[in-house]
Amino acid sequence: MDTKALLKKVRKIEIKTRRLSDHLFGGEYHSTFKGRGMTFSEVRQYQYGDDIRAIDWNVTARYNEPFVKIFEEERELTLMLVVDVSGSETFGTKTQLKREILTEIAATLSFSALQNNDKVGLLLFSDQVELFIPPKKGRSHILRIIRELLEFEPKSKRTNIASALEFLLGVLKKKAIVFILSDFMDEGYEKTLRIASKKHDLTGIRVYDPLETVLPKLGIVSMRDAETGSVQWINTRSKSVRNQYEKHYISLVSNYEELFKKNGAGSLSCAVDQSYVKKLLGYFKARI
């Protein structure tokens, strides 16, 4: 993609997702994700109804009349986007590819965080960490994240969620809001997910294409694995083959849902032809 085309695409994503974050998600994001606690702001004269436990006795003694301490929520947070860029994310039979939907969701969350003056970081992964951008504030930083989401070409097409979480645990020392955006077509990440969910506020967003859920009855067809590149001839007329495929797919989805729920992490799933806006709003409201 040349620079002019890339900038035009970045601008298009910014206009669409910033509008969503400004009008829909800003307040929901703020309400859903709380600050680290309360920090002292100022003192003022005691008013009827104030909690007597908030009285500042030093100031009260100095002025010979009651003053209370005022606290504000310590709002600054860190949002970390952990985005799958493996080969399976380039699949799409509807209006958009899975990766395009992941990019839009990530951009919407980023602008919601920007609106609340939070830091945003990005981790792109396949079966290895492909790119890590440390959390920072500012519009130019968000636009850089969007450019990488649009343009980045991974070295590998395979998936390893566990390795991404292990890296995250090593680089994020303080608690952060972490969104993992993937199709979760992977296994073996139970242990790292359990550890990560104890340290961070973790949410999984699974984006999938409806055609992935079942194997269509098309006869004998050649199929290429998007991650390994291997090609196999599959007899899709065979009921046992179709059932085996469906069973494996359902087990991956169930594993994802059960693991996140068991470890106290949030999760949602969104098909490429569904409104991720409604899905995110529903998720935020359910958490308040």
Considering the entire predicted model, what is its pTM?
0.80
Residue pair 175/133 in contact (Cβ under 8 Å)? The answer is no
Which is higher by pLDDT, 39 or 286?
Answer: 286
**Distance in angstroms (rounded) separating the CA atoms of residues 242 and 61:** 79
Q: What is the pLDDT of residue 32?
A: 66
**Distance in angstroms (rounded) separating the CA atoms of residues 250 and 257:** 11
Residue type, 12: K
Q: What is the pLDDT of residue 45?
A: 86
The neighbouring-strand residues paired with 44 are 68
pLDDT tens, 268-278? 999 999 988 88
pLDDT tens, 22-31? 665 656 666 6
Q: What is the largest CA-CA distance in the chain?
A: 90
Residue pair 208/183 in contact (Cβ under 8 Å)? The answer is yes
CATH numeric code, 3-32+76-287: 3.40.50.410
- What Cα–Cα distance (Å) separates residue 125 from each residue in 21, 82, 105, 237? 25, 7, 17, 36
DSSP H or E stretch at residue 259:
helix 239-262
Q: What is the pLDDT of residue 72?
A: 53
Q: What is the mean pLDDT of residues 276-284?
A: 87
pLDDT tens, 204-260? 999 999 888 888 888 888 877 777 778 888 888 888 888 888 898 999 999 999 999
Residue type, 36: R
- Closest alpha carbon to 181 in 116, 96, 100, 254: 100
Q: What is the mean pLDDT of residues 62-83?
A: 80
Is residue 75 predicted with pLDDT exceeding 60? no
- What Cα–Cα distance (Å) separates residue 95 from each residue in 19, 37, 106, 268? 21, 43, 18, 21
Task: Give residue 85's pLDDT band: very low, low, confident or very high (50, 70, 90).
Answer: very high
Mark residue 40 as left, alpha or beta (left: phi above 0; alpha: psi -120 to 50; beta: remaining). Answer: beta
**Distance in angstroms (rounded) separating the CA atoms of residues 278 and 145:** 24
| pLDDT > 90 in the chain, percent | 46
Residue type, 142: I
How many CA atoms lie within 13 Å of 186's alpha carbon, on the beta-carbon side? 27
CATH 3.40.50.410 residue window(s) in the chain: 3-32+76-287
List own/partner pairs for 133-142 with CB under 8 A and 24 or more apart: 134/171, 135/78, 135/79, 135/80, 135/176, 138/114, 139/114, 142/107, 142/110, 142/111, 142/114
Q: What is the mean pLDDT of residues 146-152?
A: 92
Task: Give residue 82's pLDDT band: very low, low, confident or very high (50, 70, 90).
Answer: very high
**Distance in angstroms (rounded) separating the CA atoms of residues 240 and 54:** 69
